[in-house]
Each structure stands twice: as C-alpha cells, then as structure tokens.
Amino acid sequence: MESGGEAPDTIAAIATPPGQGGIGIIRLSGPSARKIGETIITRSLAPRVATLTRFHDVGGSQLDEGIALFFPQPNSFTGEDVFELQGHGGPVVLDLLLASVCKLGARIARPGEFSERAYLNDKLDLVQAEAIADLISASSEQAARSALASLSGDFSATINNFLAELTRVRVYIEAAIDFPEEDVDFLAESEVVSELTTLSTSLANVRSRAAQGRVLRDGISVVLAGKPNAGKSSLLNALAGEERAIVTHVAGTTRDIVREHVIIDGLPLHLLDTAGMRETEDFVERIGVERAQAASVEADALLWIYDAAEQPAAASTPEDLLPPILLQHVLAHPALPLLIVANKADLLASHLIEVRQAQPLQSPSGIRYHRLAVSAVSGTGLPDLKARLKAVAGFQNTGEQLILARRRHIDALERCQQHVDAALNALQSGQLAGELAAEDLRYAQRALSEITGAFSSDDLLGEIFSSFCIGK
C-alpha cells in the first residue's frame, strides 16, 4: 500500500540526536537505499551482517569509517530496503555523509516518514506507530512501559478483538434481517443482547484504562497562585526538587509565568507559577494577575498559597483569601478543583497547624475546596499535597497496565461505545430494531478502525506523523 500509488523514492535522515556523540547514524529507506549505501562504502554488503568499512563522498574521498548494515525488504523496519551507516557522531561528518547520499539520489526524510512507511507497508498499525513516538518522549518509567506494551501490540489486539466481536454480532443481526419471516423479537431475546452488553462493559473498562493512560502521558496543569512572598516559588522548587524559579524576599518578583514540569509517582505535573496575586496599581504586576487568571482557565486545578504565619487561622476561607477577580473565576467554574495551601507551617506552633482535610470543605458562598498545611522549607505536608494533586488528576498508580492513549483514541472509544449502546437500545425497543442496530454497529466498527488506522484519512495520518522527530 503506498499513498497516491506513486513509486516511493528513497529517503535519508540522521537518525541520532543532533550534536556530538560517540556514534551517529544515517538511515536510508527505499528502492535505491542499497545502491546508494554501497556506493558510499564502495563495496557490496551481505544482508543483516554488521560490517566495518570506510565511508566515502561522491568524489571518492574518505569521510569516516564505521559499521554498515543492509536490511533487504520486506524484513526491515519500513518494509523497504533499509541501509544504515553508523559512523562517528560529529555533526560535520554526518552532514557531509547526508549530503553525499542526497547527491546519489536520496531525499531528506520528513519527520516520522520512516514510521509512516512502516505503517503504509503494514509493518505497524497506527497505534504502534504512535507508541514509537510515545516511547521516545516518555517522561516516566511507567509511561515508557505502557508505550512499549502498545508498541508490542497489546492495545491493537484489544481493539481488534472488539472489532471481531462487533463483526460477529453484525453478521448475525444482518442474517436475521434477511429472514423477515422470523419473529423480529427473537433478536431482543437472543444472546445478541447479552453479548453487546458484555462488549459495552469491556469498552467502558478500556476507556477508563485509556483515560488514566492519557493522564500519564499528558499530565495535569496546575496554577500556583498567591500573594507575593507567600512562598509560591519556594513551593514550586520544593515540588520540583531543585532551584528553578527565582526566590527572593522582595514582594512581586515572579512577574512572568514559570512553567515547571515535575513527575510525581509517574504523574507529569505542569506547574504554572504566576505573578503575585494582589490588587495592585503596578501595571506589570496587574498583567501577571490577568495571566494567572487566564492560565486558570486551562488548568486542571488551582492552588492558592498563603503565608499561614501572617493570616489568622480563622480567616482562611476562599472568600477571605482570594482576590475578587479570582474569586469570581472560581465561582464561575465550580468544577475547577481548588486547593487552599497554608505555607510556612514551620513558623507556626504545631497545635496551630491545620489537619489535612480528606473531604472537601464548603465555603460560605458554596465553593468546594481542600485545605492543606505545608512548609516549602521543611517539607512538612508535601507528601499530602502530592497525594491531593494525584487525586485531582484521578490518577491511581495501581500498577495495572495502562493504555498510553491519545485524545483521538479516547474520542473513538467513546463514539464506539455510544453506537454499541444505541444498538442495544434499538434491539430492546422493537420496530426496525435489526436495521437500526446493524447501522449503529457499522458506525461502532468504523470508530474503532480509526484507532488502528484500518480506516483513517490522509489528514489524520499527516497530523500524526508530522509530530514525530526526524529520522523516526
């Protein structure tokens, strides 16, 4: 299968990261890969045998020496002839080599083009191709393990099993439609209903594993807001484990949003540290307050931090603490989790430190929130804060194999489930039940096929592969 039906050309790319390294690899794929590779090494090569050899430019002068490898089609990563030149990892040498293979007829590959060819040649399905990109960019061990499971075909196998089950039920229903002399009700009473019910339950289970996996892959964004000097930067550093944001004693220094990425037990957390939230005449600082509010719109949670040593314990509801602009925002977005964090607990006598609330509190105007006491300096309360953040994300590190899903997978699973449920409803409600159910099951199949790419548009393919790194 080849897009547009044109004969494929030969592509080349530096497959190792930019910069200096012990080894640098040029990878070629396509019908001329072998001829071009063998011209560079001025000899022929046995398939799949690592061979130490010299690399030359088109004029015949030596550029480098290293290992050359040839993988004949179809048993290669892309399914085409693949030739690899593994030389020294210097940018100049690699650029010269790349220029030479291009002079010999190769073209520089687009990002993800090797994986795209592997997909077009049925070496991988879309889920597996995406898993390659996810494995490369995995930000935690659990994410890497889940990506590897998808690459090995676990998620694809689940989808294919659902597809097979849908096909079986559909064939049965369509056969029933073709024999109208039978009582239509027999569909409602048959095993079809119980099979679809089981399928719907399994779909819900996979959706939940996929939703967890998406959190694992994408993480959650949390806005850190609070008055100047409350200790936002210190807290951010304490969570990140190293000094990143600038911590100062002068109020109002963190004027820009600092983005920090930390991993808490495998959960990527994107922390947005905003300018001090204070009703202020200072123009720059006001921009910061507005930015904080804007950031809260996209965030998964809002952390309001205050200096517990300065604030009387009795006045610590959101109404007491938040500036009006943010209070309005919170009131208008009741689903946005709000964490009120009393910082500098180390300065308080221990009996003044509030007990962590497992259940949300409710403020006088009905805002639901959690309250925690922490110390960015001593580390007190940080484990509770981390646990609360994981709870906000709905993230449970149960050790169960998660599916490192993308938004498009979850959308497709949701659509599939809606159609399966609609088919069930149709079957249970009589009139034209068979036709309606069969139609819904067709849609359900189509939604699932989008996941593995058995049914997908060129636009989608372009979007997926263009996000890959070069040489992959």
Whichever of 158 and 375 has its CB closer to ligand GDP, that residue is: 375
Q: Does the annotation place 123 within a ligand binding site?
A: yes
Whichever of 46 and 351 has its CB closer to ligand GDP, that residue is: 351
Q: How far is the CB of 137 from ligand GDP (least distance, A)?
A: 30
Q: Could you tell me which of 355, 277, 358, 257 has the C-alpha nearest to residue 318?
A: 277
DSSP H/E element including 199: helix 191-218
Q: Does the annotation place 345 within a ligand binding site?
A: yes
Say how many Å lie between the first and final Cα of the chain, rounded.
19
Asked if residue 370 lies in contact with residue 361, where contact means CB atoms within 8 angstroms, the answer is: yes
Separation CA 400–CA 209 (nearest Å): 9
Per DSSP bridges, beta strands 82-89 and 62-71 are: antiparallel
Q: How far is the CB of 379 from ligand GDP (least distance, A)?
A: 9
Asked if residue 11 lies in contact with residue 76, where contact means CB atoms within 8 angstroms, the answer is: no
Q: How far is the CB of 260 from ligand GDP (least distance, A)?
A: 12
Q: Does the annotation place 254 within a ligand binding site?
A: yes
Q: Does the annotation place 275 within a ligand binding site?
A: yes
DSSP H/E element including 117: helix 113-120
Q: How far is the CB of 292 from ligand GDP (least distance, A)?
A: 12
Per DSSP bridges, beta strands 338-343 and 301-307 are: parallel
Whichever of 39 and 375 has its CB closer to ligand GDP, that residue is: 375
Q: Does the annotation place 280 within a ligand binding site?
A: no
Q: Does the annotation place 251 within a ligand binding site?
A: yes
Whichever of 230 and 289 has its CB closer to ligand GDP, that residue is: 230
- The residue at minimum Cβ distance from ligand GDP is 231
Using CB under 6 A as the criterion, which residues of the chain lie in contact with ligand GDP when the complex forms? 226, 228-234, 247-249, 254, 276, 343-344, 346-347, 375-377
Whichever of 174 and 346 has its CB closer to ligand GDP, that residue is: 346
Whichever of 89 and 226 has its CB closer to ligand GDP, that residue is: 226
Query: Could you give the 3-state DSSP secondary structure of residue 462?
Result: helix
Q: How far is the CB of 336 from ligand GDP (least distance, A)?
A: 21
Asked if residue 294 lies in contact with residue 420, where contact means CB atoms within 8 angstroms, the answer is: no
Asked if residue 327 lies in contact with residue 319, where contact means CB atoms within 8 angstroms, the answer is: yes
Q: Could you tell me which of 106, 54, 55, 41 has the C-alpha nearest to residue 80?
A: 106
Percentages of the chain per state (helix, strand, coil), in multiples of 5: 45, 15, 35
- Measured CA to CA in angstroms, residue 96 lies from 62, 64, 79 at distances of 11, 10, 27
Q: Does the annotation place 112 within a ligand binding site?
A: no
Q: How far is the CB of 352 from ligand GDP (least distance, A)?
A: 14
Q: How far is the CB of 381 from ligand GDP (least distance, A)?
A: 9
Whichever of 140 and 280 has its CB closer to ligand GDP, that residue is: 280
Q: How far is the CB of 23 from ligand GDP (least distance, A)?
A: 44
Q: Does the annotation place 160 within a ligand binding site?
A: no
Please work out, in degrees rounded to the nearest 5, the angle formed at the alpha carbon of residue 204 by the alpha carbons of 199 and 205.
95
Q: How far is the CB of 419 from ligand GDP (least distance, A)?
A: 50
Whichever of 249 and 351 has its CB closer to ligand GDP, that residue is: 249
Q: Does the annotation place 167 within a ligand binding site?
A: no
Residue corresponding to tokens 């990892």: 89
Q: Does the annotation place 230 within a ligand binding site?
A: yes
Cβ atoms within 10 Å, residue 96: 15
Q: Does the annotation place 344 within a ligand binding site?
A: yes
DSSP character at residue 394: T
Whichever of 221 and 274 has its CB closer to ligand GDP, that residue is: 274
Q: Does the annotation place 29 within a ligand binding site?
A: no
- Measured CA to CA in angstroms, residue 202 lies from 162, 177, 253, 419 at distances of 9, 27, 52, 14
- Measured CA to CA in angstroms, residue 99 lies from 12, 89, 103, 144 at distances of 10, 15, 6, 34
Q: How far is the CB of 84 from ligand GDP (least distance, A)?
A: 50
Whichever of 150 and 343 has its CB closer to ligand GDP, that residue is: 343
Asked if residue 124 lies in contact with residue 155, where contact means CB atoms within 8 angstroms, the answer is: no
Binding residue positions for K(+):
229, 248, 250, 253
Binding residue positions for Mg(2+):
233, 254
Binding residue positions for GTP:
229-234, 248-254, 273-276, 343-346
Binding residue positions:
27, 84, 123, 229-234, 248-254, 273-276, 343-346, 472
Binding residue positions for (6S)-5-formyl-5,6,7,8-tetrahydrofolate:
27, 84, 123, 472
